[in-house]
Structures are given as structure tokens and as C-alpha cells.
Structure 1
Amino acid sequence: MKIMSDSSEGLGFILITDRKLCETNLTDIIKQAIEGGIGTVQLREKGLSTVALYRLAKEIREITDKRNVKLIINDRVDIAIAVGADGVHLGWQSMEAGIVRSMVGQDKLIGFSAHSLAEAERAENSGVDYITISPVFDTANKDYYLTPLGVDEIGKIMEQINIPVIALGGINENNVNIVLDSGVDGIAVISAILQSDSPVQSATRIYRKIIEFKLK
């Protein structure tokens, strides 16, 4: 596991949002997740108008600011700048990382969604600060159809990448330990918290396992 820089603090445990999975209010779940140990909220909400996305991002920014938690906005550099987010997360259809860097500045985080070693290497060479690698396990909550990489492949990717690597996809409190054993720098979850009957308890249990692993 790599040593996290000051700017990447909080990436050890990330909640990625998807309001369509929530049976209760998204912001209420976020508050509970933060109470349980989430260090970064990644706002990933497709299908919202610019105004609606801005209002939601602004509300979540207020929540994260009060709790000293990072907020990363998926793809929308304009929204990230407008609400004073801590960074932007990019994908293969996004603007180039270098252009985004010129817009947000050097003190903001830029992440990238990778699904293979080749994509991870290209992202690292583009100057992003961290990558998410997915899917580790099979998951129904995705808008892409990729074969799960498995923990062995994640471990191989870790050996080749020098920036923080965050594992994503089907991770929950029952399998997080074997993912941590692969050497990843952080864990990102979606349904494990958003669809939990008790988001605070689910987040707490996963967070404790992350902390226990770091203390080994």
C-alpha cells in the first residue's frame, strides 16, 4: 500500500453516489456514511440538468465541508469549480487530464476510471492523481458490462502503477479483506452503503476493516 500524500488523504474510503439506488434521501445517506468513516464523496449523478446537479453538488459540498470530507465531481469540471469541490473524476469520454488540470489548478485532485492495466498506465502517464480500477467483482449496479478483474489482477496492476489505486465494483463488508490483501490504496463502494438498511453501520464495519488492515 502506497503512502498517501496530503492531497490524497481521504481516498482510502470513497462513497460513489447513485441516487437511483437509494430508497431514502441521498444526502441523508451521505451524512450517515460520513459518520461511519467515509473520507471522500464522489458525486456521480447522470441524467440531471445542470441546475439540478449544481444544487445537489452545493448541498453535498456544505455537508462535506462541515465534516472535513472531500467532494469529487464526476466529469463536470464546471460544477466542481462552481461549488469549490476538491477535484474531478474523469472517464474515457471526458476531457483530457491536462486540459482539466489547467482549469482546476494544481491543488485539486484528478481521478480516472480505469478497467485494465493498459488504461491505468495511460491514466498515470496523463498526470492524474489517482485511479479507480473496476470491476473487482461482479455487480448488478453498473452501466457497463465488463468481466470482473478479480483480486489477483488487481494485485498485478498495483505492482505497475505508482499513483494511488482505488478498488471498485461489488465490494462489501464480506469481501473487503481480500481486496485489501491485494495491496490497493483505497476502497470505493456504491450499493454496499446506498442500499444498506443502515448506511452508518455498513460504512463503519468496512471502515474498521480498512483501519485494521493499515495497522497490521
Structure 2
Amino acid sequence: MMIVIAPEKAVKQELYWVNTLLENGLSCFHVRKYAWSEQEIRDYIEGIDSQYHSHLVLHSHYFMAKDFGINRLHFREIERKDGQHIDYKDSHYRLSTSTHSIHDFNKLGQEWTYAFFSPVFASISKEGYGGTGNVLSDLPLKNNKYVQLIGLGGITQNNMIEVLSAGADGVAFLGGIWQSESPVETFVECQKKWKHNLYNKEIKKC
């Protein structure tokens, strides 16, 4: 699974890029705009072609999900620990969350489809965040059979295969996409590497 997360601060032509990413095969886009108002989030989603609304994941304003046919919701670590996801766990929604230790990831229950595991590398979008821990070396300790682990933090087209080879089920991009000259060209290159990695895994099975 390859995921792109919305930039915290709006970028030039952002909705154009989001729509073009989805047109080019992005299957999961996280609408992560915690500081935005209800109307700003609504306008943002309305600016995304409705055929792609099923690919969106809400990080807030969950009540909008029904309005737009969105069935994916994300809860931050603190929200999960506060039990804010409880009302949604037995519904049709696909839930995801964030973790920062392999111990916490391994304890996640079957209500979670996947979880971010971060920071893998030094963050591109948050200067000074990450890059000093042992997140990458902890990946082989993953033993949760029900939840997919998605590496997050400083991931680019140049290091994504390292994360997948270490045991991650997928990767999430933020700064690696939005701080590139062309978010779509960068995503397409990542997509090629993803497919090549899957092909190599299939070859090894033969």
C-alpha cells in the first residue's frame, strides 16, 4: 500500500495535484487538516472529483464521511488511547491509526486496517523530527498478523525500498511528495519502484 498525506499547510494548486495523483493511481489519500474549519474541509473535499471520494481518509470532522461517501477514518495515537474510535469500530468504516513503537503496534486489535509507524527517518516536513531512534531496526519485531504496518516519516523514492525490505507492508509519503518539484512525477516514480519491488518478491517465491 502506498499512501499520500495532505500537507499541513496548503500548497499552490493543491487540489489540482490531489486530483492528478488520484488519476494516476493513488488509492489512498489522507485528508489531514487538523487546523481547518468544517467549511474549509468541506470545500476541500468538494474540490476532489467525487469518483475518488472512496479513496479519501478523514483525520477529523468524521461526521462528513456519510455526506461524501467516505468509509475510511484515521485516529491519532492519543485519540485511539482515549477510545475516540470506539463508536466506529463495529461499523462499515475502515479504521487506521498511528503508532510510535513496535510494542504499541503489535498490541493493536483487528478493528484497525493499518497503522502508521513513525518516524522511520528524519522528517522532511517537520524539521528536527525523527531520525534519531531505532524505528527501522524494530520493524523485524512486527508480529501483528491482523494490521498492516505503514512506514511514515522522511520516506522518499530513494529510501522506500529500504523500508519495505525491513518488513513494512506499505509506505506513506508527505514531504517526499509535496516538497518535490512535481508531486505527480515523484509519485509515478515511487509507483514504479513499488511495482518492481513486488515483482522481485514474486520472482523470489518461484
TM-score normalised by the chain length of structure 1: 0.80
Q: After the TM superposition, which residues 90-101 of structure 1 pair with which residues of structure 2 at under 5 Å, given as runs? A: 90-94=75-79, 95-101=83-89
- The aligned counterpart of 2:2 is 13
The structure-2 alpha-carbon separation of the partners of 1:36 and 1:175, relative to structure 1 and needing over 3 Å to count, comes to farther
Residue ranges of structure 2 left out of the alignment (5+ in a row):
201-206
The separation in 1 between residues aligned to 2:20 and 2:58, in whole angstroms, is: 20
The separation in 2 between residues aligned to 1:145 and 1:193, in whole angstroms, is: 17
The separation in 1 between residues aligned to 2:151 and 2:199, in whole angstroms, is: 19
The structure-2 alpha-carbon separation of the partners of 1:136 and 1:21, relative to structure 1 and needing over 3 Å to count, comes to farther
AA matched with 2:5: I
Higher relative contact order (CA 8 A, sep 6+): 1
Aligned pair count reads 196
Whether 2:157 is the aligned partner of 1:173: answer: yes
- The aligned counterpart of 2:106 is 121
Whether 2:18 is the aligned partner of 1:53: answer: no
Question: Of 199, 207, 216, which residue of structure 1 is paired with 2:183?
Answer: 199
Shift of 1:15: 0.6
The structure-2 alpha-carbon separation of the partners of 1:61 and 1:129, relative to structure 1 and needing over 3 Å to count, comes to farther
- The aligned counterpart of 2:172 is 188
The separation in 1 between residues aligned to 2:192 and 2:149, in whole angstroms, is: 20
| Moved segments of 4+, more than 3 Å | 142-150, 159-162
- What percent of counterpart residues are identical? 22
Q: CA RMSD in A?
A: 2.3
TM-score normalised by the chain length of structure 2: 0.84
AA matched with 1:141: S
AA matched with 1:16: I
Shift of 1:144: 9.4
Question: Of 46, 58, 63, which residue of structure 2 is paired with 1:73?
Answer: 58
- The aligned counterpart of 2:203 is none
Residue ranges of structure 1 left out of the alignment (5+ in a row):
1-11
The separation in 2 between residues aligned to 1:125 and 1:150, in whole angstroms, is: 21
Q: After the TM superposition, which residues 104-143 of structure 1 pair with which residues of structure 2 at under 5 Å, given as runs? A: 105-106=91-92, 108-122=93-107, 124-125=108-109, 127-142=111-126
Whether 2:140 is the aligned partner of 1:155: answer: yes
Residues 123 and 129, structure 2, Cα contact 8 Å, conserved in 1: no
Residues 33 and 200, structure 1, Cα contact 8 Å, conserved in 2: yes
Larger Rg: 2
Shift of 1:58: 3.1
Residues 110 and 147, structure 2, Cα contact 8 Å, conserved in 1: no
Whether 2:17 is the aligned partner of 1:33: answer: no
